[in-house]
Amino acid sequence: MALRNTSTSWGLPARALHWVNAVMIIFMIGFGVWMTGVTERSAAVRLPLYGIHAWVGIGVLTVVVARLLWRFVNVTPQPAVGGKVWQHRTATLVHWLLYLLVCTQCLLGWALVGTFPTDALKAMSGIEMLPMLVSTTDRSLHETLELVHYTMAMTILALVVLHVAAALRHHVFLKNNVLTRMWSGRQQVNQEDDYGKTVNQPGSP
């Protein structure tokens, strides 16, 4: 099982980081909506949940940074068969937007934690041990960061849905291995794409 990416497949670390990141992001959005919209609105209930949310957010940021570092030291597999040039470019744009927005979202959440009073921080599962990006109890700043954090989460969710829909289109309708090579690392055999270059089809070992 290959560790490094090739021009036709994703290596094991890239695939593992992708799926871990995906699960964490979906969990964080769902957990955040449940935490702020369903649970009892009391400090005793919500502050420990905020702490869990914050720690997982730090984990998401760590995984994203690891993904970027691994991507920069590896090749990126060629675009899949069956797509138009503009579709490949749009997919690349969505990928980089997700990286940018997820990193920004994690930093916004980290900044938001710093707008809680000290007593509240101590109730947030040890999150006070982290260095704070901001340290203020300005209520207006807290509310602004909350709004931006929520809006960013919904934007990320929309891009994730778009990303999943595109992957399913490749798998079900175009019948190439965009999805399977990210799941299992399966490679492709040669065929020409819309760039006029030789790319790969499902079926090689």
- The pTM of the full predicted model, rounded to 2 decimals, is 0.85
pLDDT of res. 187 = 62
Q: What is the mean pLDDT of the chain?
A: 87
For residues 182 and 87, give the distance between their C-alpha atoms in angstroms, rounded to a whole number.
18
Q: Average the pLDDT over 161-177 and give the result.
A: 89
Domain boundaries of the chain, sorted by first residue: 12-202
Q: For residues 116-130, give the mean pLDDT.
A: 84
167-187: average pLDDT:
84
Which phi and psi (to 5°) does residue 180 adopt? -70, -30
- How far is residue 79's CA from residue 68's CA, in Å, rounded to a whole number? 19
Helix axes 85-113, 43-72, angle to 10 degrees: 140
Categorize the per-residue pLDDT at 175 as very low, low, confident or very high, splitting at 50, 70 and 90: confident
**pLDDT bucket at 34, cuts 50 / 70 / 90:** very high
